[in-house]
């Protein structure tokens, strides 16, 4: 039986869900509050748990052509430039988990997904926000711009400020975490040759850190420079940032970082928000995926990948229980919620790890990173929980 699925939010999660549902024979209406899709965002890291799904959807080669594969993941002391940790990625990640570890710009990934959704006749409505819904005996309905839409199920994929989640769980205000992030792109040709290693680079400092890596086939370096700010007073969660303020925050850093930031001509400032882990994502014929269900601090680079996993597993259960939607949503939540909450916890732990002030604890951290470089198997147990699950095999989808 084909389902009529309503999806709120046309981001990474919503588009991946729409594609997998449409390819398996369902009708999808996708709503997004934006007037149009813009070339915005920052770099996204796509590990094996995301790439296996891109491969199953048939878009992995397109994504690879727009991406950059790092040679390693490296950590440095922000002030001294001392290397604290290094682990191979090029070939090693695929060898252990079956797929490459890639860096891609969000706009490139979003455009690829959007084009694929259009190929499968996903019905996309812009300037359309789902503010509320009504569960019925057989489905769900919502009124948007004065028009009523009915479906078998409604999925909230509308991000951390999800209006679907607010209706489902009551009014929730995302918490400002105390961290904010400057994000920007620098053209590689404007930098000294080989200034930035061909890696996932992390510089750790006191109440600040910076991550940078190549995107767009190596033509640009993407950076995220995170600092602690006690208050976030802006109404928007992102705004154009001050280049001079950003550079001043990192003026005593590794020379490579200073040169990178000096060559940035436009940056954006994000406030980093989260909500406490939820114990329920579902109400009747309505559920949540991605940041609407489990917004994550960006310190494990898994937000997009976990959202993509959500979309695949939800499609599996909607197809399997298409005559009992409420049971299907329950099974989906049982499958996805524990891992999402675990990664939320890991991300918060990394926030503390990355920003330690000079102390004995920092010395212990650096010592542990040094040992982990020599004995990488010590980290495998943790990362196997994140990258090692094969959701494509465990939750099969039959495409028509």
CB-based contact 157:2 (threshold 8 Å): no
pTM: 0.94
> At 137, is the secondary structure helix, strand, or coil?
coil
| Alpha-carbon distances, residue 9 vs 38, 187, 250, 365 (angstroms) | 14, 31, 36, 39
How many beta carbons lie within 10 A of that of residue 348, not counting itself? 17
| Alpha-carbon distances, residue 227 vs 144, 205, 277, 348, 387 (angstroms) | 39, 9, 23, 15, 28
Q: Are strands 200-205 and 4-8 parallel, antiparallel or unpaired?
A: unpaired
Rounded CA-CA distance 246/363 in Å is: 27
Rounded CA-CA distance 322/228 in Å is: 47
Give 157-184 pLDDT, tens digit per residue.
Answer: 999 999 999 999 887 778 888 899 999 9
- The segments of the chain whose pLDDT lies below 50 read none
So what's the pLDDT on residue 39? 66
CB-based contact 400:24 (threshold 8 Å): yes
Rounded CA-CA distance 116/82 in Å is: 44
In the β-sheet with 123-125, what is the strand arrangement from edge to edge? 123-125, 27-31, 4-8, 153-156, 286-288
Rounded CA-CA distance 208/216 in Å is: 26
Q: Which domains can be identified in the chain, with CATH numbers?
A: 4-66+105-173+276-394 (3.50.50.60), 175-274 (3.30.9.30)
Looking up tokens 């995926």 gives 289
In the β-sheet with 147-151, what is the strand arrangement from edge to edge? 134-135, 140-144, 147-151
- Rounded (5°) CA angle 124-269-202: 100
Residue of 231, 264, 237, 351 whose CA lies nearest to 301:
351
Rounded CA-CA distance 296/323 in Å is: 33
């Amino acid at each position: 039986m084909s389902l009529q699925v309503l999806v709120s939010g046309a981001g990474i999660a919503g588009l991946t869900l729409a594609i997998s549902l449409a390819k398996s024979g369902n009708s999808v209406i996708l709503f997004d509050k934006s007037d149009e899709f813009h070339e915005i965002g920052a770099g996204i890291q796509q590990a094996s748990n995301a790439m296996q799904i891109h491969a199953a959807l048939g878009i992995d080669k397109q994504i690879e052509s727009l991406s950059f594969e790092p040679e390693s993941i490296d950590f440095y002391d922000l002030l001294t430039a001392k290397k604290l940790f290094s682990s191979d990625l090029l070939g090693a990640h695929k060898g252990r988990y079956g797929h490459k570890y890639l860096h891609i710009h969000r706009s490139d990934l979003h455009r690829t997904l959007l084009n694929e959704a259009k190929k499968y006749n996903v019905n996309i409505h812009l300037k359309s926000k789902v503010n509320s819904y009504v569960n019925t005996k057989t489905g769900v309905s919502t009124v948007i711009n004065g028009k009523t839409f009915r479906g078998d199920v409604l999925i909230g994929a509308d991000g951390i400020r999800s209006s679907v989640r607010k209706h489902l769980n009551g009014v929730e205000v995302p918490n400002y975490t105390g961290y904010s992030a400057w994000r920007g792109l620098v053209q590689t040709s404007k930098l000294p040759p080989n200034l930035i290693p061909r890696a996932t680079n992390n510089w750790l400092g006191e109440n600040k850190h910076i991550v940078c890596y190549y995107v767009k086939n190596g033509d640009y370096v993407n950076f995220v420079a995170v600092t602690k700010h006690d208050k976030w007073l802006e109404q928007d969660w992102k705004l154009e940032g001050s280049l001079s303020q950003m550079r001043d925050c990192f003026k005593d850093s590794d020379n490579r970082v200073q040169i990178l930031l000096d060559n940035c001509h436009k940056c954006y400032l994000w406030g980093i928000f989260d909500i406490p882990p939820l114990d329920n994502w579902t109400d009747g014929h309505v559920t949540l995926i991605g940041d609407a269900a489990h917004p994550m601090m960006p310190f494990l680079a898994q937000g997009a990948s976990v959202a993509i996993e959500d979309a695949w597993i939800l499609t599996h259960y909607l197809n399997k229980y298409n005559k009992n939607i409420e049971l299907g949503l329950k099974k989906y939540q049982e499958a996805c919620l524990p891992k999402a909450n675990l990664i939320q916890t890991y991300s918060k732990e990394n926030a503390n790890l990355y920003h330690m002030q000079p102390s004995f604890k920092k010395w212990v951290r650096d010592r542990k990173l040094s040992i982990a470089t020599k004995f990488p198997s010590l980290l495998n147990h943790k990362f196997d929980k994140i990258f090692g699950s094969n959701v494509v095999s465990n939750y099969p989808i039959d495409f028509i």
